[in-house]
Each structure stands twice: as structure tokens, then as C-alpha cells.
Amino acid sequence: MNKIPNILFFVFCTILVATMSGTILLHAKTPSKTDNTSQKKEVYPEIDDIVLGEANAPITLIEYSSINCTHCADFHKTTFKELKRKFIETAKVQYALKHFPLDFSAVEAMSIIAKQPKDTWLKHIETAFDTQKDWIGKDLKKLGKILNISAEDYTNALACEKTKTLVMAKRYNAEQIIDIDATPTFLILYRPNDKNGSDKKNDLDNKKEKALKHVLFNKGVSQEDLFKTLDKIYKEISSF
């Protein structure tokens, strides 16, 4: 797994997010790793999640990953298709991808994608993962060319401080909720007595937490462990 870099990036993100012009603090109820009671957290406006699957799926799987993380790329190249086939397309799991930039290069790379139509984000991210060796450590114009993004769009994206702030806020907000030691990190949300997912409609917005259970993988997880955990939770829910 790719380890989180030193505190300097976090401090930089905090300062930029906190000084963003017109920022409004929002209140949300969120699960912490050690406390499942409802509590208010302050979060900042951020780029949207990429969400796949049925809204009423009984399990929500959240992936925190960085576009320049090699282990995140490995997950998407070796496991993600099978995850979609076994769990997302069968309405067992609703999946959300939350970008968690490891460094400022990841902020800029994701900003290029975030300025494109939202329905192209996942495709662009998967292409970026597939071609990491061709653009990491190089001028990000290379990534723009790989993604077939025009030079004008690429330049405008890198010049847009608002977009970069929204990307950085994604990490800042995540770190107020759970411990993320490395990427990818996976958070599984479910209610053991709700096999229809009827009360999970707003889980991705962190608005409903009562009786919400969660499993956190933040120090490495194999495909086998992840799938076994999802299967076990689904069987537990289905037994009611």
C-alpha cells in the first residue's frame, strides 16, 4: 500500500481549504473508527464521489484512493472488475470512490479529470491507473494527452484553484472521519437488520448513522479478504 506522506501536505491542504473564498461549513453525522455514536463534524465542500450500484443495496463500500498510488492501480487492474461482477451488479453493494490525494501531484492530476464531465471520471481514472508508468513523475501534459484532454482544457484545469481546493478538501474531510494510514483504504457500511437497504439511502452523504456498523481496512487487504468480508456481511444481513 502507498503510505501517506508527511504532515506538510496536510498542513498545506488545511490552510488552502480554510482560506477558500466563500467557504461554508457544513454539518454531517459520520462514523468514526472508535465511536459509532452520532456526532457533528465540520466538513468542507469537495468534489463528488464516483458512485456505482443500486442506491438501496444493503452494503456500501467506500474506497479511498489516490490517482498516483501504485497499489490503488493494482486493485483496479486486478480486483475491481470482479468486485463489480460479484457485488455491485448483483445489487449487494453500492460502491463509492473517494479520491484521497497522496501529494500535490495527485491533486493536480485529479483536478484535470474533475474538470471533465462527471460521467467520464471513472473511465479517466481507470485509464490513468492503467498507464501510471507512462505519466507518473513526468509533466502532467502527458496525462492530459493519454486521456485525450485538449491542451486548452488541461491548462484551464491546472489554473483553476477552486477545483484543486475541492480535490484537497476530499482528503481533509476524510481524515476528520477515519484513520487512513495508506491507500487504498476501504470502509464497509451496513446495518445488520436491514437487508433491503431501506435506511441506507443517505449513507454516502453521512446523514444517517443510527445502528450503522462499519468495517475498516486501512492497513492492506487482499481481494480474498475483501470478498470474504462482503460475503459474510451479506449473509448476516440476509439471515434476518
Q: What is the pLDDT of residues 230-240, one digit of tens each?
A: 999 999 888 75
Q: What is the pLDDT of residues 84-118, one digit of tens each?
A: 999 999 999 999 999 999 999 999 999 999 999 99
- pLDDT for res 171: 95
Three state DSSP letters for the chain: CEECCCHHHHHHHHHHHHCCCCCCCEEEECCCCCCCCCCEEEECCCCCCEEECCCCCCEEEEEEECCCCHHHHHHHHHCHHHHHHHHHCCCCEEEEEEECCCCHHHHHHHHHHHCCCHHHHHHHHHHHHHCHHHHCCCCCHHHHHHCCCCHHHHHHHHHCHHHHHHHHHHHHHHHCCCCCCEECEEEEEECCCCCCCCCCCCHHHCCCCCCCEEEEECCCCCHHHHHHHHHHHHHHHHCC
pTM of the model: 0.79
Domain 2-102+166-238 sits in CATH at 3.40.30.10
Q: Is the pLDDT of residue 209 over 50?
A: no
